[in-house]
Amino acid sequence: MAAEAFGTFWLVFGGCGSAVLAAGFPTLGIGFAGVSLAFGLTLLTMVYAIGPISGCHINPAVTLGLWAAKRFPTKEILPYWLAQVIGGILAGAILIGIATGKAGFDVHAGFASNGYDAHSPGGYGMLAAMLAEFVLTFMFLFVILASTEARAPAGFAGIAIGLALTLIHLISIPVDNTSVNPARSTGVAVFAGGDFVAQLWLFWLLPLVGGAAAGFVYTSLFGEKPEERTERERLTRGG
């Protein structure tokens, strides 16, 4: 739980921090591409830092997707979710402390929160945001499940997963500021308040549904069969 809180803190602080502090900085702003890369880098670094401890979910949708794929126990879902949300909110609180060091900062203007309609960077509506969150979370979990199973090359999962999150942000920041992670959404929305909290339901529901769907579909279509696992283990042993 401590590792999950720590990892989610880094994801929200690094990703949302880049959006709040650096994306629009005059003449040197990193823009959408920079923010996308920041989210990918935070996840990539945490995969290798805390992956051996907690598996580096740092996302309630990932936890649920791994459960759906029969890779995670039911009894640990809620503790993981709690740790992830705590880590996200702590990152939001510290980010507020930094951002308010500049005169004129208005947390209620958005604070890197997710949103649709008037709160969408590109003016996209609720249905567009729902579709984007479902599809992108589904594909994110697909990459996670495929790159971390026994048949995948060892040691490269973090690269694939980090780049997948970067691509997801490149696609969908204009749509709804990209969630695919309820803890990331919650960590900043609780400080932005107002409509950002009122719209938070979408950024919990759709990532969770997309993640669970990916877990069930991946296991059904591509999961390693018991006989395949036995043969692979035999060949690995040289038998």
Q: How many domains does the chain have?
A: 1
The total of other beta-carbon atoms located within 10 Å of residue 71's CB is 16
> Looking at the domain assignment, is residue 172 inside a domain?
yes
> Is residue 217 assigned to a domain?
yes
How much is the pLDDT for 239? 52
Let me know if residue 55 belongs to a domain: yes
Cut 0.85: pTM above it: yes
In a domain, 201, yes or no: yes
Whether residue 132 is contained in a domain is answered as yes
Does residue 239 fall inside a structural domain?
A: no
Read off the CATH number of the domain in which 158 is found.
Answer: 1.20.1080.10
103-157 per-position pLDDT tens digit:
989 999 999 999 999 999 999 999 999 999 999 999 999 999 999 998 899 899 9
Q: Could you list the residue range(s) of the whole structural domain that residue 89 is in?
A: 2-102+111-224
User: Has residue 207 been placed in a domain?
Assistant: yes
- 235 located within any domain: no
Positions in the chain whose pLDDT score sits under 50: 234, 236
Choose among 182, 178, 196: nearest CA to 35.
178
Q: What is the pLDDT of residue 28?
A: 81
